[in-house]
A and B are shown apart, each in its own frame.
Chain A
Amino acid sequence: MLSTACKPTPQLLSVTSMGTGYIRTKEPEKRIFDSSDLPAFRKSKAFERLHFVILSLVDAVKGKDVPEGFLKPLDPKGSSSETNSQSQPPIHGKHTELKLSQITKNILAILTRLDQLIDETPPITGPRRFGNMACRDWHSKSEVFIASILNDQNLSEDDRIELCFYLRESFGSKVRLDYGSGHELNFVAFLGGLLTQGNHFGAIDGDEILVIFATYYNLVRRLILDYSLEPAGSHGVWGLDDHFHFIYILGAAQFNVPDGKRADGYRFVPPVLQVLNDQTIEMCKYSNLYVNAIAFIFRIKQGPFNEHSPILFDIHRSVSLWTKVLSGLQKMYEVEVFGKFPVVQHFYFGRNLYAWVDAVTNQPLATAIAARTDSESESSQETLPGMLNGTQGLKTTSQNISLTGAPWAMKRQIPGTDSRSVRLPALLARKRPERGD
């Protein structure tokens, strides 16, 4: 399969090594296998486009409020989220003066359908370890639904498959039953891809983008609460938030003045130092995503805020300008999301929208693993390796729940079933203590 040494470009190696599965499926594929792939990621077209998308979204929402009626009420602690969601279905078009474009309506329709699927897939009652298994069913249903959508857009088949993939990945892990900023990034990729491919970025304004994100966050929070998704992979109190990051960037952008414009008329922007106040939260929790995210934390967490969310607490103790908050959150996003292997390893790369090719030379990039394993089709997980005491592995359906992942997590084999040795990623500094020192 690999062509011989006369091929001049080393990059071709990774193309040929993709194997036939790549041509057949066209689905985005995993390209980041360990932390040594991160520099290549930074050079990729995908990276460039993700940044273009993020900056476009941030610019679009500057100086805007989330239109009234779109962010779902955050019910007080203790009351059942289920009864609330039934009495309060997502309200669309409550305010008729807000004209939504067709594309926004389509996205909202998709998200509303996914929300209905939660109603149709009630959490399983009875004993469980933690995460609710019904979430797996919800994922199955949503996969079927998502595969059938986006037909009516002016999209090529390639783009459609790619967009469906990113949308599917936007709602957390089916296997681990968790949700984190990596899944949030997939939704950004989906929306950005849809808007750029259809050239909608100019046509759709900040209000509509906020409406889309508000509906998305309503849905994700319902998934988190109804199916008790574990805060796995979270840094606990030492991260910005258990699940989200981009919502804070959008919300901080809302409190910024659009570039090159002066705010027309008076617009209330709470001082950064006052954001953790009850009053500010009450006033802004349905119009600003940042405050809304903080209100959500107050809703789900017990204990002192400075203890369970020390990073947010520090921001509001020591930063005074919203421009600083925005740029700080963006810098932090670079480091904590784009720069962290445990997060971006789950971001997959397509052929067109978010491609694993060099942004400058347009050549496919290599991956660390391509050099080692020749052609390993992603679908090989269907056939489980033979197990230790002879029998074939049984399909696990329900019990392997959401868990703390190993930062170096990647596909491996049961020892003794494959001669290929499991390689040790280089990131681990294997420090040996000096004994008895």
Chain B
Amino acid sequence: MTVSFLVPTLDLDYCLEQLLDHKPPRLLPEDTVHQLCHLLKTQLLSAPNIISLATPCTVVGDIHGQYHDLLEIFRIGGAPPTTNYVFLGDYVDRGYYSVETITLLVALKLRYPSRVALIRGNHESRTITTNYGFYTEVLNKYSGSLKVWNYFTDLFDYLPLGATIDGTIFATHGGLSPSCQKLDQVRVIDRFKEIPHDGVMADLVWSDPDPDITDFKLSPRGAGYLFGRDVMDKFCHENDLVQLVRAHQLCNEGFVSYWNGKCLTIWSAPNYCYRCGNLASVLEISHSNYALKERKDQTFLPGQYCNVFDASPENTEDTHEGRSVNGIGGATDILTTSLYERPGRHVEYFL
């Protein structure tokens, strides 16, 4: 590691300030993003595929570039470092603020390494971000330069694939794989690569639970599998687990609980794509002491609370009249006008 890649705490605080203390959040320069990504990569190199975490912690599902709603999560659930956070992936794509969202999360992870955990989702990949928006967003916000997209997608290759919480809860983005019965099979994967089209690594980020089946079934997504109750039971039994917490599917109420709370889906992007009208939630786990009070019809396990929230009011604030949209027409003063006052790239079709 060379000296130039050491980012002092003071500088991290400055990065966080740029993002948190300005409306809209200020984009960090390409070089800074490069440094942040590189530093985090070196730290994640030694992280196992499945990281071990402990309660109390708060689990967050898909965010998809909904930056205002991420800040809302910190408002309702406590901001790092006062709350421990586990993010289950899908930070980018579809939303308007993917760059700001992933930059903030990376900066927070570096600033409070033991308080923030970032897991990889199916959108943390080159192929998917090219198709679903993050790529286009970087082109637009960094004046046609793809450097930042490269830094982030390279970093995504280093993110862990899952986490265990108190050794009894398994948290991952998607779900189970027919090719993997034991967590140890995940632990030995070489994860430092683009997410493949199939195999355990792909299934972990692509699979979905299906309450109508007992077994595995092909997924209509074209990647990953649907898994049923028996699969879930067997997996928990073999690995001494009580629960799978995952994200990956839009839920109208912000969460969906299957099989007596054994498989819990957490969705954290309210009013998804500005129009779905859905709620969102984060799962707060305070302890993992299940000895006494298990109920037959429970939605959550004891010690768990789903903090449900609606879209942040900031989402509806006018960002254009305030001349304040990052990169796109977002000139703040005369000097930066020539730099930023350029139409988005897609307008090329129309010239």
Residues in chain A within 8 A of chain B (CB atoms): 127-130, 175-176, 228, 230-231, 234-240, 242, 300-308, 310-311, 313-315, 317-319, 324-325, 327-329, 331-332, 335, 340, 342, 384, 387-389, 391, 393-394, 396-401, 403-416, 422, 424-425, 427-433, 435-436
Taking a contact as CB atoms under 8 Å apart, the answer to whether B215 and A306 are in contact is no
Most buried by A among B158, B214, B215: B215
Taking a contact as CB atoms under 8 Å apart, the answer to whether B217 and A127 are in contact is no
> For the complex, what is the distance from the CA of A410 to the CA of B222, rounded to whole Å?
6
> For the complex, what is the distance from the CA of A314 to the CA of B136, rounded to whole Å?
14
Binds A, one of B53-61, B163-171, B288-296, B315-323: B315-323
Most buried by A among B45, B216, B325: B216
> For the complex, what is the distance from the CA of A28 to the CA of B203, rounded to whole Å?
31
Counting CB contacts under 8 A, is B256 at the interface? yes
Taking a contact as CB atoms under 8 Å apart, the answer to whether B212 and A422 are in contact is no
A322 to chain B, nearest CB (A): 11
Counting CB contacts under 8 A, is B211 at the interface? yes
Taking a contact as CB atoms under 8 Å apart, the answer to whether B192 and A435 are in contact is yes
Taking a contact as CB atoms under 8 Å apart, the answer to whether A400 and B220 are in contact is yes
Taking a contact as CB atoms under 8 Å apart, the answer to whether A238 and B136 are in contact is yes
Chain A residue contacts of B325, Cβ below 8 A: 306-307, 310
> For the complex, what is the distance from the CA of A388 to the CA of B213, rounded to whole Å?
13
Chain A residue contacts of B221, Cβ below 8 A: 176, 403-406, 409
Chain B residue contacts of A234, Cβ below 8 A: 94, 273
On whether A128 and B329 interact (CB within 8 A), knowing A236-B273, A302-B316, A325-B350, the answer reads no
Tally of contacts, chain A with chain B, CB under 8 A: 246
Taking a contact as CB atoms under 8 Å apart, the answer to whether A317 and B273 are in contact is no
Taking a contact as CB atoms under 8 Å apart, the answer to whether B193 and A433 are in contact is yes
Taking a contact as CB atoms under 8 Å apart, the answer to whether A394 and B214 are in contact is yes
- State the main secondary structure of chain B at its contact with A: loop
Chain B residue contacts of A415, Cβ below 8 A: 178-179, 198
Chain B residue contacts of A239, Cβ below 8 A: 133
Taking a contact as CB atoms under 8 Å apart, the answer to whether B274 and A406 are in contact is no
Taking a contact as CB atoms under 8 Å apart, the answer to whether B133 and A238 are in contact is yes
Taking a contact as CB atoms under 8 Å apart, the answer to whether A433 and B192 are in contact is yes
Binds A, one of B7-15, B73-81, B108-116, B341-349: B341-349
Other A-B pairs beyond A308-B274, A406-B224, 17, CB < 8 Å: A130-B276, A176-B221, A231-B273, A234-B273, A303-B274, A306-B320, A306-B325, A310-B96, A310-B344, A315-B347, A317-B329, A387-B215, A393-B213, A399-B212, A399-B213, A407-B131, A433-B192
On whether A397 and B223 interact (CB within 8 A), knowing A235-B132, A414-B218, the answer reads no
Q: Which of A301, A409, A425, A433 contacts B274 (CB 8 A)?
A: A301
Q: Which residues in window 288-337 of B have CB below 8 A to A? A: 311, 315-320, 325, 328-329
On whether A242 and B206 interact (CB within 8 A), knowing A302-B316, A328-B349, A405-B221, the answer reads no
Q: Which of B216, B253, B318 contacts A388 (CB 8 A)?
A: B216
Binds A, one of B25-33, B122-130, B238-246: B122-130
> For the complex, what is the distance from the CA of A394 to the CA of B343, rounded to whole Å?
52
> For the complex, what is the distance from the CA of A325 to the CA of B351, rounded to whole Å?
9
A255 to chain B, nearest CB (A): 14
Taking a contact as CB atoms under 8 Å apart, the answer to whether B230 and A304 are in contact is no
B114 to chain A, nearest CB (A): 22
B315 to chain A, nearest CB (A): 5
Taking a contact as CB atoms under 8 Å apart, the answer to whether B212 and A236 are in contact is no
Chain B residue contacts of A384, Cβ below 8 A: 217
Taking a contact as CB atoms under 8 Å apart, the answer to whether B94 and A435 are in contact is no
> For the complex, what is the distance from the CA of A389 to the CA of B192, rounded to whole Å?
31
Taking a contact as CB atoms under 8 Å apart, the answer to whether B214 and A391 are in contact is yes
B336 to chain A, nearest CB (A): 18
Categorize the interface residue count of chain B: 35 or more
Chain B residue contacts of A300, Cβ below 8 A: 275
Interface string of B135-177 (1 = CB under 8 A from A): 0110010000000000000100110000000000000000000
> For the complex, what is the distance from the CA of A429 to the CA of B93, rounded to whole Å?
19
On whether A236 and B197 interact (CB within 8 A), knowing A303-B315, A403-B249, A433-B154, the answer reads no
Chain B residue contacts of A401, Cβ below 8 A: 249
On whether A396 and B273 interact (CB within 8 A), knowing A324-B351, A430-B194, the answer reads no
Q: Can you identify 17 A-B contacts, CB atoms within 8 angstroms?
A: A175-B220, A236-B132, A301-B274, A304-B317, A305-B320, A306-B325, A327-B350, A393-B217, A396-B217, A399-B210, A403-B221, A403-B249, A406-B206, A414-B218, A422-B198, A424-B197, A433-B154
> For the complex, what is the distance from the CA of A235 to the CA of B64, rounded to whole Å?
11
> For the complex, what is the distance from the CA of A427 to the CA of B344, rounded to whole Å?
26
Chain B residue contacts of A432, Cβ below 8 A: 192-194
Counting CB contacts under 8 A, is B100 at the interface? no
Chain B residue contacts of A340, Cβ below 8 A: 131
A34 to chain B, nearest CB (A): 10
B314 to chain A, nearest CB (A): 9
Closest to B234 in A: A389
Taking a contact as CB atoms under 8 Å apart, the answer to whether B311 and A302 are in contact is yes
Counting CB contacts under 8 A, is B208 at the interface? yes
Counting CB contacts under 8 A, is B219 at the interface? yes
Chain B residue contacts of A398, Cβ below 8 A: 212
> For the complex, what is the distance from the CA of A231 to the CA of B234, rounded to whole Å?
34
Taking a contact as CB atoms under 8 Å apart, the answer to whether A391 and B215 are in contact is yes
Closest to B255 in A: A129
Taking a contact as CB atoms under 8 Å apart, the answer to whether B222 and A406 are in contact is yes
Chain B residue contacts of A409, Cβ below 8 A: 221-223
> For the complex, what is the distance from the CA of A176 to the CA of B178, rounded to whole Å?
22
Taking a contact as CB atoms under 8 Å apart, the answer to whether B343 and A318 are in contact is yes
Chain A residue contacts of B122, Cβ below 8 A: 404, 406
Q: Which residues in window 63-119 of B have CB below 8 A to A? A: 64-65, 93-96
Q: Which of A317, A331, A425 contacts B197 (CB 8 A)?
A: A425
Closest to B210 in A: A399
Chain A residue contacts of B234, Cβ below 8 A: 389
Taking a contact as CB atoms under 8 Å apart, the answer to whether B350 and A315 are in contact is yes
B146 to chain A, nearest CB (A): 13
Chain A residue contacts of B96, Cβ below 8 A: 237, 307-308, 310
B346 to chain A, nearest CB (A): 5
Which 3 A-B pairs give the minimum distances between C-beta atoms? Answer: A409-B222, A236-B94, A328-B350
> For the complex, what is the distance from the CA of A279 to the CA of B23, rounded to whole Å?
30
Counting CB contacts under 8 A, is B251 at the interface? yes
Chain B residue contacts of A428, Cβ below 8 A: 127, 194, 197
B317 to chain A, nearest CB (A): 7
Closest to B322 in A: A304
> For the complex, what is the distance from the CA of A56 to the CA of B234, rounded to whole Å?
59
B206 to chain A, nearest CB (A): 7
> For the complex, what is the distance from the CA of A339 to the CA of B164, rounded to whole Å?
42
Chain B residue contacts of A303, Cβ below 8 A: 274, 315-316
Chain B residue contacts of A405, Cβ below 8 A: 220-223
Taking a contact as CB atoms under 8 Å apart, the answer to whether B94 and A235 are in contact is yes
Taking a contact as CB atoms under 8 Å apart, the answer to whether A237 and B273 are in contact is yes
> For the complex, what is the distance from the CA of A399 to the CA of B251, rounded to whole Å?
12
Most buried by A among B225, B275, B316, B329: B275
Taking a contact as CB atoms under 8 Å apart, the answer to whether A317 and B318 are in contact is no
> For the complex, what is the distance from the CA of A128 to the CA of B249, rounded to whole Å?
12
Counting CB contacts under 8 A, is B278 at the interface? yes
